[in-house]
């Protein structure tokens, strides 16, 4: 039984997924560990070897030059450039609005006890930009633009050597300070440890394949990461229409998880038939059809409560609400990556250009985290300072607690300040 098709009260299945996206993740841990160790110890030389081995790329230099940036821009057709700029503007505007809600703090909870926090941008962030099956023009926008809005000192972008040149243009327009043609686990290693060419970063963000994901997992600790992203997901809560949106997400990858959660049996069966019909003339049917066959599901729920419970269990990356009272139902949901309320709010708009971020938690991570946002790139760091009145407030209980715990050094540190004031 797959994670998503776990039996729950009030839920049955018109279609179950045939495979499990979690267990199907190829065992890549050993390979990634070898790549990380090689790059850590041999730097650029190891990056070159793996670039040739995995990407068939023999590069004289990893970093994209100013001239190469300009050529990528010049070669980008005017409409694509305008559309990319439209996406950048919208993502920037939303990120700026979000940043305005993250405020510094200064409070005095007790007389003479002052504390607060600062909002501090990170010094250097690495953005992994996937090449993908298609030139994903929105990918650099989603990771780089919020970083620049947050005030990150330097944004480093890595993308596979065989990525479409338009992706270089996208990185440039989004504000990347440095761009490197390095993909896969070797890119994560280079940004984590630093090489002769690539500077080490404080945090790595952005989606990628299983090797990229595993590399992020292994470097995490001294290096921050945004999240571990699995295959893309879209689920729809509906009491009526949906097949087209499900297939739009399914064409991303053969391992995309797509599903319908509904209380309407007739709709469930109609959607299953409609998906099969649309696959017959969909240009990306080879990918979307495989995803639907292996990971697609249709869950039939006895009532709204069961529908909400099952949706919260799945915690889908993209969750569309197509019900009579979409806004009312949306307020009852807790677990998801990003929510799309009403039939006019397509996931595609967010994927491309509307402004909310498309880098989102997958594989049930929406139960404990949201997606990439401007807050990913800042630290909330606390501070405090005390007056003599403040010391008189907190020193006695601190000293007593330390004594109870048997921590004599702590007790002395608390008591000495009070003793000095009373001398």
Annotated catalytic residues are 317-318
Half-sphere exposure of 350 (CA within 13 A, CB side): 24
C-alpha triplet 195, 198, 204: angle, nearest 5°: 105
Tokens of 57: 């790329």
Cα 157 to Cα 177: distance, rounded to the nearest angstrom = 8
CA-CA distance, 65 to 172, in Å (whole number)?
11
Contact 4, 17 (CB under 8 A): yes
28 and 214 Cβ atoms separated by less than 8 Å: yes
Tokens 């997924």 belong to which residue? 17
Q: What does the radius of gyration of the chain's CA atoms come to, in whole angstroms? A: 25
Report the distance separating Cα 260 and Cα 246, nearest Å: 8
Measure the CA–CA gap between 312 and 330, rounded to whole angstroms.
Answer: 11
Distance CA 373, CA 355 (A): 11
- Taking CA atoms, 388 is separated from 106, 115, 240, 333, 364, in Å, by 18, 15, 66, 49, 50
C-alpha distance across the termini of the chain, in Å: 71
Listed in sequence order, the residues at least 6 apart from 84 whose beta carbon sits closer than 8 Å to its beta carbon are 76, 137, 138, 141, 169, 170, 173
Residues in the chain: 423
Give the whole-angstrom CA distance, residue 126 versus residue 190.
10
């Amino acid at each position: 039984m797959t994670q998503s098709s776990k039996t729950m009260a009030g839920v049955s299945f018109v279609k179950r997924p045939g495979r499990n996206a979690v267990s199907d993740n190829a065992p890549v841990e050993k390979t990634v560990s070898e790549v990380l160790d090689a790059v850590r110890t041999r730097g650029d030389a190891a990056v070159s070897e793996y670039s040739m081995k995995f990407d068939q790329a023999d590069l004289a230099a990893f970093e994209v030059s100013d001239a190469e940036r300009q050529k990528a821009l010049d070669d980008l057709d005017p409409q694509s450039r305008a559309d990319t700029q439209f996406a950048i503007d919208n993502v920037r505007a939303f990120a700026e609005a979000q940043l305005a809600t993250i405020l510094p703090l200064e409070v005095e909870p007790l007389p003479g006890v002052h504390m607060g926090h600062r909002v501090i941008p990170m010094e250097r962030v690495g953005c992994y930009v996937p090449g993908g099956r298609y030139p994903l023009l929105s990918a650099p926008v989603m990771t780089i633009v919020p970083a620049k809005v947050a005030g990150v000192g330097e944004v480093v972008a890595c993308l596979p050597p065989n990525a479409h040149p338009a992706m270089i243009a996208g990185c440039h327009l989004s504000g990347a300070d440095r761009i490197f043609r390095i993909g896969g686990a070797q890119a994560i290693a280079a940004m984590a440890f630093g090489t002769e060419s690539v500077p080490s970063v404080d945090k790595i963000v952005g989606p990628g394949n299983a090797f990229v994901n595993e590399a992020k997992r292994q470097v995490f600790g001294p290096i921050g990461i945004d999240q571990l992203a699995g295959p893309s997901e879209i689920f729809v809560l509906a009491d009526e229409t949906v097949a087209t949106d499900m297939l739009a997400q399914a064409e991303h990858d053969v391992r995309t998880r797509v599903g319908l959660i509904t209380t309407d049996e007739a709709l469930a069966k109609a959607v299953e038939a409609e998906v099969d019909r649309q696959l017959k003339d969909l240009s990306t049917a080879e990918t979307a059809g495989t995803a639907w066959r292996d990971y697609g599901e249709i869950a039939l729920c006895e009532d709204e409560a069961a529908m909400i419970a099952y949706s919260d269990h799945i915690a889908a990356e993209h969750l569309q609400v197509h019900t009579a009272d979409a806004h009312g139902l949306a307020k009852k949901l807790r677990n998801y990556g990003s929510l799309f309320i009403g039939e006019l709010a397509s996931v595609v708009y967010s994927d491309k250009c509307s402004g909310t971020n498309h880098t989102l938690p997958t594989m049930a991570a929406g139960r404990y985290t949201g997606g990439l946002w401007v807050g990913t790139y800042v630290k909330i760091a606390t501070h405090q300072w005390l007056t003599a009145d403040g010391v008189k407030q907190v020193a006695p209980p601190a000293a007593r607690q330390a004594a109870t715990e048997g921590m004599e050094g702590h007790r002395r540190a608390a008591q000495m300040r009070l003793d000095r004031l009373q001398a």
